[in-house]
């Protein structure tokens, strides 16, 4: 199994899988549906789409059954043959320890094969049946979500090398250098960070409570704003307490698990905020450009779906990048030249070439950072055009006020994020990067509530009402 053979086998897997998808998806989507649009599923699965067809699907089912035999059963037969030879070889080993070790090398793969093939064969090698609707949904949920989530656990929990590597890393942990060479600056930063953290908690908690208590704030704008406030509270709470601990005393260490959790949530919540700001820009576009249809467009179900997309995309991005970053060989290096477990700082510690990982990070950053930013800019392009068409100065001012708060938050957040994550690690300025991280970690989340409340009449009135200072009709 030399490197060239491994690459050829991996390429064959990817090419065959995508070729199969091109054939089956093309055939399925070309089936006439006679206007039927309701897919009785939570994703566009072949069996669910076939049920929409208003013609006889026997031929296409036979063709897809044949392809499934090629892409499911033939690999399964090869797996079974391989394990037959493996079992035969293992039984020849005389020592019990040797047999246990041999089975241990295959146990993880065998569990994954059973989980995946069991559900995939059930889904694709049976004809569509009305009686299997809900059962098919649950099976899809299992192999679409549960199986990919369990795979890393199965391989790591049963793999001695991975466990030993994790144990060594867990016992060693990391040292967050931060500004330890400047003790006076650390004391000043401790006071500043603590003040901003308390302000963040107070301001964002106020936004969440007001959005829940005042019926006038039960609108799409405040629904997304409450999401943003909750996000900012989680983002700061995931990083600032450890930062305060390191700034206060001489101990600068963080455990491997603590660093992994911090990295995961910083990446995840940062990604969520990027997408959520794009969603809020679309909401502002609908409010300004389509005011008469605003309540129809931004109905509660769509708002919930858009918020879900933001949260899932951020956590999905982190699920890819955080493990890749943590698995980089560091050759015993433990000193993180930062006050957080940030991805650029951890990549900079690696003792191997990180070009491939940086390329992956850049590609994902395009989807998580640049694509939402482009959507924001497009939305504001339409908003600007609509505002310029308003003849009255009062109307233009009102339209601008509905968007100015969001635009200011976008500028603060995206400016620092793009600088941090869309440059190579080898050009990463250490002190500059630390201060930028400090800015978007503590300053931006704390000023968001101020930006939205100081320029928003509804929020001011809601605060007066909650505090008992509003008029009786408010």
DSSP state for residue 178 in the 8-state scheme: T
**What is the CB-side half-sphere exposure of residue 323 using CA atoms within 13 A?**
9
Instruction: Reduce the DSSP state of residue 433 to 3 states and report it.
Output: helix
CA distances for 144 relative to 42, 103, 115, angstroms: 11, 28, 11
Q: Distance (Å, rounded) from C-alpha 342 to C-alpha 339? A: 8
Runs of H (alpha helix) within 30-72: 46-50, 58-68
Following DSSP, what letter does each residue of 381-413 receive, concatenated? HHHHHHHHH--SHHHHHHHHHHHHHHHHHHHHH
Take residue 275 and report the two structure tokens written for it.
């997408």
90 sits in the region (left: phi over 0; alpha: psi -120 to 50; else beta) called alpha
Runs of H (alpha helix) within 327-467: 343-348, 355-365, 371-389, 393-421, 430-438, 444-454, 457-466
Q: Distance (Å, rounded) from C-alpha 263 to C-alpha 205? A: 24
- Is the sign of the CA dihedral 226, 232, 233, 234 positive or negative? positive
Q: Distance (Å, rounded) from C-alpha 179 to C-alpha 338? A: 8
pLDDT tens sequence for the chain (474 residues): 777 777 778 878 888 888 777 777 777 777 787 877 777 766 777 777 777 778 877 777 777 777 777 777 788 888 888 888 888 888 888 887 777 777 767 777 777 777 777 776 666 555 555 545 556 666 666 666 666 666 665 665 555 554 445 444 444 678 887 777 777 888 888 898 899 899 989 888 888 888 888 777 888 888 898 899 899 898 888 888 888 888 887 778 888 888 888 888 888 998 898 899 999 989 988 888 888 888 888 888 888 889 998 998 888 888 888 888 888 888 877 888 777 888 878 888 888 888 888 888 888 888 888 889 899 999 888 888 888 888 888 777 777 776 777 788 888 888 777 776 565 555 555 666 677 778 878 888 888 887 777 666 777 777 777 676 544 444
Q: Distance (Å, rounded) from C-alpha 74 to C-alpha 78? A: 6
Instruction: Reduce the DSSP state of residue 32 to 3 states and report it.
Output: coil
Tell me the whole-structure pTM to 2 decimals.
0.63
Take residue 234 and report the two structure tokens written for it.
């989680």
Q: Distance (Å, rounded) from C-alpha 53 to C-alpha 27? A: 12
Q: Distance (Å, rounded) from C-alpha 143 to C-alpha 131? A: 20
pLDDT at 472: 45
Q: Distance (Å, rounded) from C-alpha 97 to C-alpha 125? A: 40
Runs of H (alpha helix) within 73-159: 74-91, 96-124, 133-141, 147-157
Q: Distance (Å, rounded) from C-alpha 452 to C-alpha 147? A: 42
Q: Are 46 and 124 in contact (CB under 8 A)?
A: yes
Q: Distance (Å, rounded) from C-alpha 242 to C-alpha 289? A: 44
pLDDT at 471: 46
Q: Distance (Å, rounded) from C-alpha 377 to C-alpha 459? A: 26
Burial class (CB in 10 A: 0-12, 13-18, 19+), 267: buried
Burial class (CB in 10 A: 0-12, 13-18, 19+), 215: exposed
DSSP state for residue 93 in the 8-state scheme: -
CA distances for 133 relative to 36, 139, 277, angstroms: 17, 10, 37
DSSP state for residue 131 in the 8-state scheme: G
Q: Distance (Å, rounded) from C-alpha 251 to C-alpha 392? A: 61
Q: Are 266 and 341 in contact (CB under 8 A)?
A: yes
Q: Which residues pair with 174 in a beta bridge?
A: 254
| Among 40, 196, 54, 66, residue whose Cα is nearest residue 124 | 66
Q: Distance (Å, rounded) from C-alpha 79 to C-alpha 73? A: 10
Across the beta sheet with 335-336, the strand order is: 253-254, 174-176, 335-336
Q: Which residues pair with 175 in a beta bridge?
A: 253, 335
Q: Are 199 and 446 in contact (CB under 8 A)?
A: yes
């Amino acid at each position: 199994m030399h490197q060239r053979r491994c690459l050829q086998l991996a390429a064959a897997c990817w090419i065959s899988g995508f070729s199969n998808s091109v054939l089956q998806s093309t055939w399925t989507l070309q089936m006439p549906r006679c206007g039927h649009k309701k897919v009785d599923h939570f994703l566009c699965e072949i069996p669910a789409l076939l049920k929409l067809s208003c013609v006889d699907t026997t031929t296409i089912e036979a063709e897809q059954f044949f392809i499934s035999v090629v892409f499911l059963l033939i690999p399964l037969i090869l797996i079974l043959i391989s394990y037959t030879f493996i079992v035969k070889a293992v039984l020849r080993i005389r020592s019990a320890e040797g047999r246990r070790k041999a089975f241990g090398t295959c146990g993880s793969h065998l569990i994954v094969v059973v989980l995946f093939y069991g559900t995939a064969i059930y889904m694709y090698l049976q004809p569509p049946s009305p009686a299997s609707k809900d059962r098919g949904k649950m099976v899809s949920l299992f192999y679409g979500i549960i199986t990919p989530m369990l795979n890393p656990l199965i391989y790591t929990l049963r793999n001695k090398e991975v466990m030993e590597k994790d144990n060594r890393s867990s016992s060693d942990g990391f040292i967050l250098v931060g500004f330890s060479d400047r003790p006076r600056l650390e004391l000043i930063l401790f006071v500043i960070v603590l003040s901003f953290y308390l302000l963040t908690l107070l301001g964002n908690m106020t936004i969440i409570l007001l959005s829940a208590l005042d019926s006038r704030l039960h609108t799409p704008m405040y629904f997304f704003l409450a999401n943003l406030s909750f996000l900012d509270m989680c983002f700061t709470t995931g990083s600032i307490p450890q930062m305060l601990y390191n700034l206060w005393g001489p101990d600068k260490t963080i455990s491997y698990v603590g660093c992994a959790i911090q990295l995961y949530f910083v990446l995840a919540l940062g990604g969520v905020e990027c997408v959520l700001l794009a969603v809020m820009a679309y909401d502002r576009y609908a409010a300004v450009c389509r005011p008469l249809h605003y309540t129809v467009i931004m109905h509660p179900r769509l708002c919930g779906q858009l918020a879900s997309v933001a949260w899932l995309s951020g956590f999905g991005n982190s699920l890819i990048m955080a493990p890749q970053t943590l698995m980089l060989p560091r050759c015993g290096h433990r000193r993180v030249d930062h006050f957080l477990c940030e991805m650029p700082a951890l990549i900079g510690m690696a003792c191997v070439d990180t070009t491939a990982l940086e390329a992956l990070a850049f590609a994902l950053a395009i989807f998580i950072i640049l694509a939402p930013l482009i959507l924001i800019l497009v939305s504001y392009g339409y908003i600007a055009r609509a505002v310029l068409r308003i003849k009255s100065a009062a109307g233009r001012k009102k339209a601008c006020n509905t968007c100015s708060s969001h635009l200011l938050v976008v500028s603060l957040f995206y400016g620092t994020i793009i600088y941090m994550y869309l440059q190579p690690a080898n050009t990463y300025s250490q002190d500059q990067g630390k201060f930028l991280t400090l800015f978007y970690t503590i300053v931006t989340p704390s000023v968001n509530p101020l930006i939205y409340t100081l320029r928003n009449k509804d929020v001011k009135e809601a605060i007066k009402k909650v505090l008992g200072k509003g008029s009786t009709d408010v």
